[in-house]
Amino acid sequence: MAGTVGVFVGVSVDGFLARPDGSLDFLPADGGDAKAYERFISGVDAVVMGRATFEVARGFDAWPHAGRPVVVLTTRPLDRTGWPAGAVEAMSGPPDRIVATLAGRGLTRLYVDGGRTVQAFLRAGLVDRLVITRVPVLIGQGIALFGNLPADVRLRHVDTRAYAGGLVTTEYAVVRAPL
């Protein structure tokens, strides 16, 4: 199946996406580099996120995924009150089935967001690209970006950018083992 699955996240230097309660208060209010996000999201057909990430994101002043279908991975009913029809959809199942279902709809360039969701897609060998911005803070505990993996995931460095204020964004491509 052709397409790409990408991850674009901000983390503390000690590798946490959020505090234990899901708070993102350690991330810069302006996101650090809006142009980096714009470049990334311009190549995305749909967003796939976990339920907890959706609940946090829906509280933002502005919805960061306007104009793109958003799939929320959940097994519970999803309150879509106030959302335009088709903007947010609930789905469940293993990552490979999610990717195949979306590819069947022509949605092949996916942005995967949320700790458990990113980890599940990595374990399934479906992530092609990682863009990670490290925020110059140690928070000591929280929701980790990476969890246990069944095997090493080899990465090829693509680019690194440092910004005023200490943010550092690194992009990696996942290296697939030769057949």
34-63 pLDDT per residue, tens: 677 888 888 899 999 999 888 888 777 777
127-163 pLDDT per residue, tens: 999 999 999 999 999 999 988 888 889 999 999 999 8
Q: Which domains does the chain have, with CATH numbers?
A: 4-174 (3.40.430.10)
According to the 3-state scheme, what is the secondary structure of the chain? CCCEEEEEEEEECCCEEECCCCCCCCCCCCCCCHHHHHHHHCCCCEEEEEHHHHHHHCCCCCCCCCCCCEEEECCCCCCCCCCCCCCEEEECCCHHHHHHHHHHCCCCEEEEECHHHHHHHHHCCCCCEEEEEEECCCCCCCEECCCCCCCCCCEEEEEEEECCCCCEEEEEEECCCCC
Task: Quote the percentage of the chain above a pLDDT of 70.
Answer: 93
> What pTM was computed for the model?
0.89
Whether the predicted pLDDT of 1 surpasses 50: no
Average pLDDT of every residue of the chain: 88
